[in-house]
A and B are shown apart, each in its own frame.
Chain A
Amino acid sequence: MSEANQNTQEFETAASASEAVAEFEDNRRGVLGKLQHLLHVNPSFVPLIVLVGAIVIFGLLLGSKFFSPFAMTLILQQVQIVGIVAAAQSLVILTAGIDLSVGAIMVFSSVIMGQFTFRYGIPVPIAVMCGLAMGTLIGALNGWLVSRVKLPPFIVTLGMWQIVLATNFLYSANETIRSQDIEANAPFLQFFGTKFSIGGATFTVGVIFMLVLIFVLAYALKHTAWGRHVYAVGDDPEAAELSGVNVHKTLMSVYMLSGLICAFAGWALIGRIGSVSPTSGQLANIESITAVVIGGISLFGGRGSILGSLFGALIVGVFTLGLRLLGADAQWTFLLIGLLIIAAVAVDQWIRKVSG
């Protein structure tokens, strides 16, 4: 025991020599370190800066042609579908998952709403609810496969994408319901396309829905226990489980909510394009992932803010419209977006180094 005591003594002196074991070394950081810390705390800061910068640059180059209430709200209308789907995608990516089936769920839900109304003569509100229920159901299936069967989200949703899309074509018999028919017989299906103007700005119900949805989700993620659990599950599911978080319930809620939001996007899609087309929205999954990544949400889960996804979607919208008004080849837009994606992930990796 005497040896142990002596060891203890040595430990004791070593410990008292550095009382500051638990001190935060803040003075070590320079300007760059402070920036890194700021971004660590506010991950949606980068896309916001890029968004404001892009608006200013295109505004300077194009003048009032771009910098007008009309053009600005036109961008909102153009990104509304991607914005809504990106909200769903953000939730899933925050849990360290990915949802490749978002576009398919969206289109299939819109087809259900249309076909239930026109093929079976079901009252429109009920047909809409059936579409929303179908989206939620597919989301639940995704969630169950991910959470209970423990399959990788990428594989589950890759499969679900094909299954839902094929079902969509088989069920709809590749048939489009024309805009005029919907307008005459079931205008409620186009509800999200309802326009109203404030000054020169034109808004649609879909745009308002996108904004409200993002703000509600931002609130829920930051200020409710559910939101904290979503982050914890994405960060480290085992640690979350040990802390008493119901990981299964959290994952199910996220995938079901994602499916429901995609179904709403399907409804908004009818408002946007007027018709119900089983071939529309094919790029929604890739576009939503682009918006989420540019928006600074980490593909590794647990990090980022849903507001970032809105900024990400808007950045793509601003580049698309701005470059088109400048008369540039559309390929320049894709090239720039490709650069932004890589830059965004590089910034994400850099921010994560804070923990090192």
Chain B
Amino acid sequence: MSDTTPVVQGRGIVKRYGHVTAIDHSDFELRQGEILAVIGDNGAGKSSIVKAICGATIPDEGEILIEGEKVNFSSPIDARNMGIEIVYQQLAMSPALSIADNMFMGREIRKQGFMGKYMRQLDRPAMEKFAREKLTELGLMTVQSINQAVETLSGGQRQGVAVARAAAFATKFIIMDEPTAALGVKESRKVLELIQDVRARGIPIILISHNMPHVFEVADRIHVHRLGKRLCTIDPKDYTMSDAVAFMTGAKEPPKEDAA
């Protein structure tokens, strides 16, 4: 695999729900080490295309290649097993359980030997150590204890834990669905910094967001989705936010040279 092989490549993806075509022969490309923002009006199908990539929906037509290899995910768990992590808008955490428990939910580490094999005992020290390391790496260890319940954290801290969880287990890429939507200004700032930290570690990110300032601040490329397909991919340095909104809503024709 050379460095120029896209991490994700979608070709001619189609998804229909009855008479509604949610994805209409759309292409998709995520490159190594980049943050790709996906923007689009409500109902343009930007969540649908991302769901198709992570196995949450199964496309009717088209193919998806991950690092050049064709994949057929039947659930997000398949994608996760391949090293694709998703940070959901609604966070997907159990508020009453601890940070460490949440980080390892669904992929717990068991103890070695008899206690682990027959008594199925969890290796708490190993899980806590790993969780603490990952949070520290991302500068999040201001939380008091790795064993405190997630519900005692602020919204920004919870999002931080979710990003840390994704960064800890992702080997291919991370999908983030509106990670700053529910956060205040300061907390959004913190999360945007986290996103950039994660990119600096070489993990590419697909960022779905409505927030143009956030998109223009962190994205390397912007995928504009309109009427079920990719309209164009633009470089945020060459266009303004109002251009992006104009492409998104159809008020302006997409640039010819970048058109997909």
Contact = CB atoms under 8 A, between A and B. Distances in A.
Give the bracket for the number of chain B residues in contact with chain A. 35 or more
B142 interface: yes
Contacts of A245: 105-106
B104 to A, nearest CB: 8
B95 A236 contact: yes
A123 B121 CA distance: 37
Instruction: Name the residue in A15, A18, A225 with the highest tally of chain B Cβ atoms < 10 Å from its Cβ.
Output: A225
Give the bracket for the number of chain A residues in contact with chain B. 35 or more
B101 to A, nearest CB: 6
A96 to B, nearest CB: 11
Contact of A224 (B86, B121, B144, B241): B121
A127 B193 CA distance: 65
A106 to B, nearest CB: 28
Contacts of B240: 1
B143 interface: yes
Instruction: Name the residue in A8, A223, A243 with the highest tally of chain B Cβ atoms < 10 Å from its Cβ.
Output: A243
B213 A22 contact: no
B108 interface: yes
Given A224-B121, A228-B97, A239-B90, A15 B186 contact: yes
Interface in A1-46: 1, 4, 7-8, 11-12, 14-15, 18, 20-24, 26, 40
Contact of B216 (A1, A23, A240): A1
Interface in B93-119: 93-97, 101-102, 105-108, 110, 119
Contact of A8 (B105, B119, B144, B213): B213
B105 A240 contact: yes
Instruction: Name the residue in B92, B144, B237 with the highest tally of chain A Cβ atoms < 10 Å from its Cβ.
Output: B92
A351 to B, nearest CB: 10
Secondary structure of the A contact surface, majority rule: helix
A231 interface: yes
B122 interface: yes
Contacts of A244: 76-77, 80, 105-107
Contacts of B187: 21
B66 interface: no
B189 interface: yes
Interface stretch (B10-18, B38-46, B151-159): B151-159
Interface of A: 1, 4, 7-8, 11-12, 14-15, 18, 20-24, 26, 40, 219-220, 223-226, 228-229, 231-232, 235-236, 238-240, 242-245, 302-303, 354-355
